[in-house]
Amino acid sequence: MAPHHRPRRRAVPGALLAVLLLAGCSGPGATGNAAEDAAADRPTATAPAAPPLPTTAVTTEGTLLVADFGADTVTFVDPARGALASVPVGTAPYALAVGGDGRAWVATAEGVAVVDTRARTRPARIPYRTGSGPVDRGEYRGGGMGIALSPDGKRAYVGVNVPGGSGVLEVVDTATPEVTATVPVGRRPFDVDVSRDGSEVYVTGHDSFDVTVVSGATLRPRRIEVAPYGTEGGLGSWLKPHYAVVRPADGMLLLPFEGERLAVVDPRSGRTTVETMTADTHQHGAALAPDGRLLVVGTGAVAGDGRGPSLTVRAPDGSERVLPLRGPHEDVAVSRDGRTAYVTGGYTRDGFWDGITVVDLASGEMRRLAAGARPLGIAVL
């Protein structure tokens, strides 16, 4: 379907561009509220670390693992009872990926932390080759953002943000473990995905309006612009790609924008088609359910335009159900049976909360589960 058009928050007036160059999800200072903008510019304060939660003997299937952006830990969560244990991993963990061997790979500001999810320990942390400035916290910190594993588990791919410059994809040999290669990619690599056969890696460049396709064999990069609203506004634009999923049926990349447009990208030809979405809200995290439904997290209206936070459940035929959420959220994972969605309350901007919203996808019923500290990335073990 062709995109629909509405004259709302689509372009940044020239007089405002200088103010918004590092704005919002696009960079600090896009809220229009001076106090909030000043707060967004400051590093996020972190309370003194609490003692780690006690561990239990066994991590059962279906346990959740969240990256605690506000506490420098990952937390194991029982979806019925709440937090079970926390393990220190490094400053401001953003995203994580879990392999079939039970190891989790966590992108932090300091390096890739390796977590043994069965023993609930951190046996290693691998420093980045890329210089990304002083170790810091907050939405715009340098260091690891998106992360993914190859299907055979032999490689971890992490997108490293370099403030003020282009990002880098670092390739980790999971057997060693150490960084074995680096590849230039787009700015602020929010998300990393891998094709089902492992032949390609897809890095979503938030601030460069693109996806970098990296050959798994040669590590040669190829850029595809993904900008269904255009690139006007540059760094000051809200209308950028955030998270992607790989559609199993045909290998297409699905990138939601603003609850209005779904960019469907063919990574082979570089062509993008656009389908209509209905949530009318700024969108971040995305995941696929086992039956092919696309789940997308809506963070709420930006610049006072649009609807509030939501979870979009989009069927393969394009029909959508939009479930309102209480407050901003960031990312989403789906239970193995496809019945339940887990939406993290961390969010990369103000308004986050320390927990997970558990959503029954059949009834739409929700409950809040206190867990973690500003949790962003999430996986089902």
In this predicted structure, the answer to whether residue 94 has a pLDDT above a threshold of 80 is yes
pLDDT band at 23 (very low <50, low <70, confident <90, very high): very low
Give the pair of three-digit tokens for residue 143: 């260091």
The pLDDT score that the predictor gives to residue 25 is 64
Instruction: Answer yes or no: is pLDDT of 212 > 50.
Output: yes
| Length reported for the chain | 381
- Name which residue leads in pLDDT, 41 or 228: 228
Distance CA 95, CA 181 (A): 20
Any domain includes 374: yes
Over residues 192-197, mean pLDDT: 98
Looking at residues 192-216, what average pLDDT do you find?
98
Q: What pLDDT, on the 0 to 100 scale, is given for residue 39?
A: 33
- Contact (Cβ atoms closer than 8 angstroms) between residue 159 and residue 207: no
Flag whether 136 is in a domain.
yes
Kindly state whether residue 23 falls inside one of the protein's structural domains.
no
What is residue 38's predicted lDDT score, i.e. its pLDDT? 34
Residue 264 lies inside a defined structural domain of this protein: yes
Mean pLDDT of the chain: 88
Residue 218 has pLDDT above 70, yes or no: yes
Q: What is the pLDDT of residues 247-277, one digit of tens each?
A: 999 999 999 999 999 999 999 999 999 999 9
In a domain, 25, yes or no: no
Domain boundaries, position 108: 64-380
Residue 17 placed within a domain: no
pLDDT mean over 103-108: 98
Residue 37 lies in a domain: no
Q: How far is CA 235 from CA 30, 260, 271, 280, in A?
A: 11, 21, 23, 22
Percent of the chain at pLDDT > 90 equals 78
**CATH code: domain of residue 297:** 2.130.10.10
Distance of alpha carbon 27 from alpha carbon 199, whole angstroms: 33
**pLDDT over 60 (residue 13):** no
Position 305 scores a pLDDT of 81
Q: How confident is the model at residue 7 (pLDDT cuts 50, 70, 90)?
A: very low
pLDDT confidence bin for 348, thresholds 50/70/90: confident
Number of domains in the chain: 1
Q: Is a pLDDT exceeding 90 seen at residue 381?
A: yes
Beta strands (DSSP E) in 185-281 are 189-194, 200-205, 210-215, 221-225, 245-246, 253-257, 261-265, 272-276
Q: How confident is the model at residue 216 (pLDDT cuts 50, 70, 90)?
A: very high
Asked if residue 290 has pLDDT above 70, the reply is yes
Output the pLDDT for position 349. 84
Residue 52 pLDDT class (50, 70, 90 cuts): low
pLDDT band at 59 (very low <50, low <70, confident <90, very high): confident
Give the DSSP H or E segment for 233.
Answer: none
Sequential DSSP letters for 81-143: TEEEEEEE--SS--EEEE-TTSEEEEE-SSEEEEEETTTTEEEEEEEPSS--SS---STT-SE
Domain assignment present for residue 341? The answer is yes
pTM here is: 0.87
